[in-house]
Amino acid sequence: MALLDLDPQVVAKARELAAKAAEPVVALAKAHTTVSVERATLRLAGITGADTTHRAGDVPWVNRVVDTVREHCGLEHGVALPVFHALREHDLPTLTDLAEATAAGQVRYTLPTGRDRDRARKAATAAITRGLRTVDRNRAHRDKLVTKLGDPPRRPWLYLIVATGDIDEDVVQARNAARAGADVIAVIRSTGQSLLDYVPEGATHHGFAGTYATQENFRIMRAALDEVSKEVGRYIRLTNYASGLCMPEIAVLAGLQRLDMMLNDSMYGILFRDINPVRTFVDQRFSRQVHARAGIVINTGEDNYLTTADAVDAAHTVTVSQLLNAHFAHEAGLPDHLLGLGHAFEINPEIPESFRLELAHALLARELFPDAPLKWMPPTKHMTGDVFHGYLLDGFFTLAGLLTGQSILLVGMMTEAVVTPFLSDRDLALRNVRYVLNAAGGLREDFRPAPDGLIVRRAHQVLGEAVDLLGRIVDDGLLDAIADGTFGLMKRPATGGRGADGVIAKADDYLNPAADLLEAQP
C-alpha cells in the first residue's frame, strides 16, 4: 500500500533520467572487454587450478593463459578463439593441460581464420554452454530446496556476517548463526581481496578480517549450509562479494557453486576501492548477466555513501544511485525480484526527529522499488563504543525496517564499527531483533504517516532533489559526476584508478560465446 502519495509523473521522470544517464555508460561497457571478463569466460569453459611452482606464489592457470594470449595476439578479439584453436592444434584434452603447456613455453597463441575459426568458435561455445548448464542446474536445485525446506516464515530475512579468516571456523559460526535465527549468511572477504587481480585457489585458513573468496571456499560453505538447512527446516542463503578487480570471475564461481546472493554494486569499487570506472562498468555488466542466469540476488552498496557523506544532506544521492543501479541491473537482465538495492540507518541520532527522517528515507526506497528485496543496513557511523546506546539504536533500526517493509535486515551489533564483534555480541543482537519482530511484527499494518506530516514531506523533498541531480548528470555525464565527487564525496576520474590497464577496446570481429549466450538469455 502506497503511503507517501508520490507523484507518478515525478517517479517516471526519475526513471527516465536514470536511463538517459546510464545509456552512454552501457554503450561504453558493450564496446570493451577486460582481463577479468576473459578469465570468467574460460572459467565457464572449465579451466581450474593454479601453477603452484611459480616463485612469487601460486598463479591461477586462467591468469597464466589470458596473460599469454594477450602477449601473443592481444585480447581485442576475445580469448576464446585463440585458446580453443590452440587446444585443437596441440591435441590437448583439457584447458588445464593447455595452461600447463603454456607455462612451459610450448604454446604460441594465434588468432585463427577461416575453417579454423569456425572450429574454435564451435568448441568454445560447446564448452561454455556446459558451464552454463551447471549454473542452470544449480538454480533449479535451489528452487527445489526452497520448495522442500521452505523460506523463512516471515520477512525481513535476517542477514548475519561471519568473518574469521578460516573457512573451517566460518562453517562452525555459520551453522550456529542459522540455528540462532539467521536466514542469510554472508562470508565477508579478506581485507584487500577486491584489489587482487586474480582469484586464489583452494580452501583458505589465513584471511585478514575476513575469508578469501575462492571456489573451494564457496563449495565448503554451501555444503555446510545445506546440512544446517535440513536441521532448521528452512533454506539458508549464502552471500559473498562479486566486487573488485575479479567481479566477473567471482560471479561465475558463485553460479557454479550455488550461492544465493552477491554484493554487486555498479559504483562501489570505483568510489571506495579506487578501481578504474570503465573497468568497473564493463565488469559489473558481465557479472550481472551471470547473476541473472544463476538467479542470484544482488545487494548494492548505497549504504556506504552515508559513511562518508552526511546521511541527511546526501540522502538524494542514495536515491539517485538506487535508480542507476536498478537501470543497470535491468539492462543486464536482472528482474526486480533479484534486485537487492541497499540503503542504511545512518542519520546522526542527535539530530531532532532523526527517526522520522529515517522512516521517510526507508519508505521512499520501498515505494520506488515495491518488488525489490531491499537490503537495510544498521547504524555504524555513529556507533561510539557506548554499547547500551548502540543496542538501543539497533532496536530502532529493526523497528524502522519493520515499519517500512524492508526485505533483508543486516543484523546490527552494538560493537559494530568499534571492535570486531564477539559471538556473545551476535547472540545479544539476535535477541534484540527477535524481541522487535515478536513485539511489533505486524505494526506495519497500523503505520500511516500523516499526509502533510514530516515523513511524507521529507520523502517528496528527497525525490525532488534526486530528479534535479539526475538532470545534471544527464547533462554532464555520469563519469564526470563520479569524477566530481557526487557520490560519497569520492572523486574518481575516468582515466584513473586500479585495473585501467586491464580494459581492452573490442575489435570489430570480437567474439565471446559466453557474452553472446548471456546476452541472448530471456
- 185 membership: H or E segment, kind and range: strand 184-187
**pLDDT at 449 exceeding the cut of 80:** yes
State the pLDDT at residue 307. Answer: 84
Radius of gyration of the chain (CA): 23
State the pLDDT at residue 209. Answer: 87
**pLDDT at 375 exceeding the cut of 70:** yes
CA 230 to chain centre: 27
Q: Give the residue-averaged pLDDT of 259-263.
A: 97
Tell me the percentage of the chain whose pLDDT exceeds 90. 89
State the pLDDT at residue 509. Answer: 96
Q: Quick one: cell of 50?
A: 593454479
State the pLDDT at residue 517. Answer: 97
Instruction: In whole angstroms, give the CA distance from residue 242 to residue 249.
Output: 8
pLDDT in tens, 484-503: 999 988 899 999 999 999 99
pLDDT in tens, 24-52: 999 999 999 999 999 999 999 999 999 98
Annotated catalytic residue 303: yes
Three-state secondary-structure class, residue 161:
strand
DSSP code at position 156: S
State the pLDDT at residue 305. Answer: 86
Nearest alpha carbon to residue 278 among 501, 518, 516: 501
Nearest alpha carbon to residue 512 among 38, 10, 18, 117: 38
- 77-109 b/e (C-beta count within 10 Å ≥ 16 → b): bbbbbbbbbbbebeebeebbebbbbbbeeebeb
Q: Among the options 375, 391, 425, 506, which is catalytic?
A: 375
- CB of 185 closer than 8 Å to CB of 162: yes
State the pLDDT at residue 57. Answer: 66
The string of DSSP letters for 434-471 reads: HHHHHHHTTGGGG----TTSHHHHHHHHHHHHHHHHHH
Annotated catalytic residue 375: yes
pLDDT in tens, 184-225: 999 999 999 999 999 999 999 999 989 999 999 999 999 999
Instruction: In whole angstroms, give the CA distance from residue 223 to residue 159.
Output: 18
State the pLDDT at residue 53. Answer: 80
pLDDT in tens, 53-97: 876 568 999 999 999 999 999 999 999 999 999 999 999 999 999
Q: Among the options 159, 212, 241, 268, which is catalytic?
A: 268
State the pLDDT at residue 495. Answer: 93
pLDDT confidence of 145, banded at 50, 70, 90? very high
Q: Give the residue-averaged pLDDT of 448-468.
A: 97
Q: Among the options 170, 183, 283, 303, which is catalytic?
A: 303
Q: How many helical (H) and strand (E) elements, i.e. helices and strands, does the chain have? A: 19, 13
State the pLDDT at residue 404. Answer: 97
Bin 417: left if φ > 0, else alpha if -120 < ψ < 50, else beta: left
Average pLDDT, the chain: 95
Residue partners of 172: CB distance under 8 A and separation at least 6: none
Domains of the chain: 46-128 (no CATH), 129-444 (3.20.20.440)
Nearest alpha carbon to residue 237 among 163, 174, 194, 284: 174
Q: What angle do CA 109, 37, 505 make, to 5 degrees?
A: 75
State the pLDDT at residue 522. Answer: 62
State the pLDDT at residue 415. Answer: 85
